[in-house]
Amino acid sequence: MNYYAIGIGGTGAKCVEALIHFSAAGLMPEGKLYVLFVDPDESNGNLDRAKITLQQYITCKRLKFGKTDFLKTMIVAGKPNVWSPFENETQPSLANFFRYNALKQNNKAAAYLFDVLYSPSEKETTLEKGFRGHPSIGAAVMAETVKLGQGEPWQTFRDMIMQDIKGGTGAKIFLFGSIFGGTGASGFPTIASLIRKELQDLQPGEQHQLENLKLGGALVLPYFSFIPESQNVEMKAKSEDFLINTQGGLKYYFQKSRTNMYDAIYLFGDESQSPVSTTSLGGNTQKNEPHFIELYAALSALDFFLKENLQNYHLTARNNKNQLDWGDLPDAYGGNTVKHKIGQLTRLAFAYLSVYYPVLEDIRTKGKGYRAPWFIDFFKRENISLDDAATQTSLVNVKNYCENFLLWLANVHTSVKDEKINLINYNAFAHVVKDDGKDKVELLPVFNLKAFANLILPLGEEKPNELSRLWERMCSARVRDTNAVGIGRFIHALSCECGLIY
Amino acid sequence: MIKYVVHFVGILIISAGFYLLANLVEKDLFLERLVIPPPGVKLPQWLDSFKFWANWGITASVGAVLLWYLIAQWGFKVNHWSESGKRVIWGLFFILPVIVIILGFVFTQQAQESGWLAYLFYILNGLACYYLATALFSPSSFKYTPLWAEKIRRW
């Protein structure tokens, strides 16, 4: 089975970001994951962060790890990985897009209808920073521009899916989007409908192959709000409209049976909508920190990808509305797999950043490789030189991903002010600082090494020497997987050893 | 646990090897044939003295090996990478066999001929026993701390 994830809009991109981290933890089932972002605002900060995560993942995945949980899934990014409905427009606006001026002269009836449906500001406002919380604009544009058979990345997307369903591999497509914004709310039903329509267009004898195709989606209900502004001059997404938009959206899905095109649909929201200080119109300033709702969205994708028999609607809730524990996260594998694998990746990132990368740097500059026996076993005897530019780049790439992952985790924990997230002991590696009056999460310059055994909450017995035990095991670690090569063998060993800690 | 047993058995085998080397090969095959003891001292008496100091030299080495092992395995903690290595401390443990070797030098009467062989054997036994045992069976975290250990140890 191959898997396809499409993040629509800023929230969609953030959910895909969470799914990429879950893939890095080895939570995805066997098969490739194709990732695509849909956003008219390509400079959107949320999208930017998801793109960086995707790029870091793909770059690190070039290392040959063999069969291990770390970065287990082969992720293929769409080319281009962000699709914008305005890729050919320099100054996009609804009026320009539908040639409103020409319409007024050639087809007056259509122009009048256009006037009835859209206000002057909706028609004239430039849309390079997205649909500004107006799904009515987005739906019109998306329906007109998404053509699965024409242009990239849709052409490749379609070809890959056709190959999967005709070849019997099977394909599961999952869409992420918000119901309350502009891009996600408009793209979620429109793109799903276009995919269904396009892929149903098979030869009469091939119709049975459609059983190999499943379409699912996570629709995110409001979970954050903007701090209100004193002045309101431009057309943009307003959090006071979120609930109204959501109500309208849900009514639309219900009355038009729009969820029928999905084999499974997941809805999430958070009562206490955390205030986000950014009231950006879009662009790189639209950068909301990761939120725990995105964990749920990524878990819903896992649930969809893993399960054979899909329900149409999925509901889940927390035990305590002001708290989130591991037990509140649905685990499609059953048991504690999600907790264990996220824990394993957290320990790997923590150990790599606090111990293994620094010692490799020290050996590179000062020599004395004997200090780290695993260095002799995995690097020196394999003729991997730390001075080699390619080695340096690979080690830095893994470092960058590990930093990104830990920051993401810490941000998830600080995303809500009046709720307690009890998943990871992020204080061991990150702290909140004030940056220009705003809270910002940063990695600690020196991690709390004694907390290594207790990175996963709830806190257990104190084991201040767990890193020392990991070091000892790394010094006698053996990797028998012949597909693990070079630095990949070292990371393979570190990942496996981190998986042995409970 | 098995790892520790294997290491201790390894150390035991090396120590036993050196005891056998000193008592059966060095003493009986070389010294008994080549050494002419000092005037007034009979050869068996001189050889007993050699045996005494050679065995004590090896015992001191084994003691140093065990001390190094215990401290490296259960004393040192590599929670921070700068706590790794410890080559200087490994080197300091040579002091133990060296002291006994010096005592052997002092208390073994100078032979008329080939007496230097005894001194050579003291040095060889005392130092090589400590070196080989630590180079081959140091705890994993410090397995390449003994000089050139990475050339001879493959596990």
All residues at 6 or more sequence positions from A268 whose CB lies less than 8 Å from its CB, including other chains = A218, A219, A220, A221, A223, A293, A296, A297, A300
Which residue shows structure tokens 């849900």?
A250
* Same structural domain, A272 and A410: no
Say whether A273 sits in a helix, a strand or coil.
coil
pLDDT digits (tens, 9 = 90+) for B64-82: 999 999 999 999 999 998 9
Q: Is the dihedral of CA B66, B92, B55, B120 positive or negative?
A: positive
pLDDT: is A212 or A140 the higher one? A212
User: What is the C-alpha separation between A448 and A165, in angstroms, rounded?
Assistant: 49
Instruction: Report the pLDDT averaged over residues A156-160.
Output: 91
Run of H or E residues at A255? helix A242-255
A471/B85 CB distance under 8 A: no
Q: Quick one: pLDDT band at residue A61, thresholds 50, 70, 90?
A: very high
Q: What is the pLDDT of residues A297-351, one digit of tens each?
A: 999 999 999 998 877 666 778 888 889 999 999 998 988 999 999 999 999 999 9
Amino acid A289: pLDDT: 86
- Residue-level pLDDT at A31: 95
A275, A399: one domain: no
Q: Does one domain contain both A195 and A242?
A: yes
- On whether residue A361 sits in a domain, the answer given is yes
Which chain A residues are closer than 8 Å to B140 by Cβ?
373, 472-473, 475-476
Q: Are residues A150 and A229 in the same domain?
A: yes
The residue segments making up the domain with residue A59 are 2-92+127-316
List the single residue in A362, A452, A471 with the smallest CB-CB distance to B141: A471
Strand pairing report for A274-276 and A224-226: parallel
Mean of per-residue pLDDT scores for chain A? 87
> Quick one: A419 and A375 in the same domain?
yes
Whether the predicted pLDDT of A285 surpasses 80: no
Mean per-residue pLDDT of chain B: 96
- Put simply, the answer to whether B155 touches A476 (Cβ < 8 Å) is yes
Confidence class for position A281, pLDDT limits 50, 70, 90: low
What pLDDT does residue A418 have?
83
CB contact under 8 A, B85 and A476: no
Residue A367 at interface with chain B, using a CB cutoff of 8 Å: no
**Within this chain, do residues A407 and A310 fall inside the same structural domain, yes or no?**
no
Residue A133 pLDDT class (50, 70, 90 cuts): low
Q: Does residue A278 have a pLDDT over 70?
A: no
**Is residue A100 in a domain?**
no
Q: What is the pLDDT of residue A227?
A: 63
Would the CB atoms of A449 and B87 count as touching at under 8 Å? Answer: no
Bridge partner list, A318: none
A357: pLDDT strictly greater than 70 = yes
**pLDDT value at position A261?**
83
CATH assignment of the domain containing A306: 3.40.50.1440
CB of B84 within 8 Å of any CB in chain A?
yes
Q: Give yes or no for residue A274 having a pLDDT over 90.
A: no
The DSSP call for residue A200 is T
Please tell me whether residue A76 adopts helix, strand or coil conformation: strand
- Is A355 in the same domain as A310? no
Q: How far apart are CA A295 and CA A292, in angstroms?
A: 5
Can you tell me the ipTM of this complex? Answer: 0.94
Closest-CA residue of A relative to B143 is: A373
* Residue B26 pLDDT greater than 90, yes or no: yes
| Angle ∠(A83,A89,A90) on CA atoms, nearest 5 | 115
Searching chain B, which residue's CA lies closest to the CA of residue A357?
B81
- Asked, for residue A312, whether it belongs to a domain, the answer is yes
Verify that A242 and A166 share a domain, yes or no. yes
B134 interaction partners in chain A (CB closer than 8 Å): none
Nearest CA in chain A to B145: A370
For residue range A378-429, list pLDDT tens digits in order: 999 999 999 999 999 999 999 999 999 999 999 999 988 888 999 999 999 9
Residues of chain B with Cβ-Cβ distance to A475 below 8 Å are: 140-141, 143
* Beta-carbon separation of A358 and B81 below 8 A: yes
The SS3 of residue A462 is coil
Are the CB atoms for B14 and B129 separated by under 8 Å?
A: yes
A211 in a structural domain: yes
| Whole-number percent of chain A with pLDDT over 90 | 54
pLDDT in tens, A199-228: 776 666 677 777 889 999 999 988 877 666
Nearest to B150 among A370, A467, A473 (CB): A370
pLDDT of residue A65: 96
Q: Which residues contact A105 (CB under 8 A, 6 or more apart)?
A: none
A472 reaches B (C-beta below 8 A): yes
Answer yes or no: is A106 within a domain.
no
Which of A368, A449, A473 lies at the smallest CB-CB distance from B85?
Answer: A368
| Residue A470 falls inside a structural domain | yes
Of the listed ranges A27-41, A152-166, A178-192, B54-68, the one predicted with least confidence = A178-192
CA distance A305 to A3: 7
The residues facing A276 across adjacent strands are A226
**Distances in whole angstroms, Cα of residue B25 to Cα of each of A42, A212, B22, B125:** 82, 78, 6, 12
Omega within 30 of 0 (cis) for the link into A153: yes
Do A490 and A356 sit in the same domain of this protein? yes
Whether pLDDT at A233 is above 80: no
Which of A281, A316, A351 is the endpoint of a domain?
A316
Decide which of A419 and A483 is more confident: A483
Higher pLDDT, A57 or A288: A57
pLDDT band at A245 (very low <50, low <70, confident <90, very high): confident
Judge contact between B69 and B12, C-beta under 8 A. Answer: no
Give the ranges where B21-114 is alpha helix by DSSP (H).
32-34, 43-70, 87-92, 95-107
d(CA B69, CA B71): 6
Q: A449 and B77: CB-CB below 8 Å?
A: no
Among A265, A281, A316, the domain-final residue is A316
pLDDT score at B112: 94
Residues of B in contact with A355 (CB under 8 A): 80-81
Higher pLDDT, B51 or A99: B51
| pLDDT of amino acid A230 | 56
Model pLDDT, residue A28: 97
Per-residue pLDDT, A235: 53
- What is the distance in angstroms between the Cα of A449 and the nearest Cα belonging to chain B? 7
Higher-scoring residue by pLDDT: A291, A249: A291
pLDDT at position A457 over 90: yes
Contact B141 A359 (CB under 8 A): no
Tell me the nearest-neighbour CA distance from B99 into chain A, angstroms.
Answer: 28
How large is the average pLDDT for residues B49-60?
A: 97
Angle at A352 (CA atoms; ends A351, A353), nearest 5 degrees: 95
Helix (H, G, I), strand (E, B) or coil at A10: helix
What is the full DSSP assignment across A62-75?
TS-B-S-STT-S-E
Higher confidence at residue A128 or residue A147?
A147
- Beta bridge partner(s), residue A438: A435
Where b means 16+ CB within 10 Å and e means fewer, A124-150 reads: ebbbbbbbbbbbbbbbbbbbebbebee
In the predicted model, is pLDDT for residue A282 greater than 60? no
Q: Take residue A176 and report the two structure tokens written for it.
A: 């992420």
Establish if A278 belongs to a structural domain: yes
List the beta bridge partners of residue A213: A171
**Spatial contact of B129 and B10, defined as CB atoms under 8 Å apart:** no
Of B85, B139, B155, nearest to A371 by CB-CB distance is B85
Report the gap between the CA of B63 and the closest CA in chain A (Å). Answer: 23
Query: Percentage of residues in chain A with pLDDT exceeding 70?
Result: 90
Pair (A47, A132) in one structural domain: yes
Q: What is the pLDDT of residue A356?
A: 98
Q: Taking 80 as the threshold, does the pLDDT of residue A18 lie above it?
A: yes
Is the minimum CB–CB distance between B128 and chain A shorter than 8 Å? no
CA A477 to CA A489: how far, in whole Å? 10
* A116 part of a folded domain: no
Q: Is A449 on the interface with B (CB under 8 A)?
A: yes
Distance from CA of A462 to the nearest CA of B (A): 14
Based on the domain organization, do A139 and A81 belong to the same domain? Answer: yes
Report yes or no: A368 at the B interface, CB cutoff 8 Å.
yes
Kindly state whether residues A286 and A211 are assigned to the same domain.
yes
Number of domains in chain A: 2
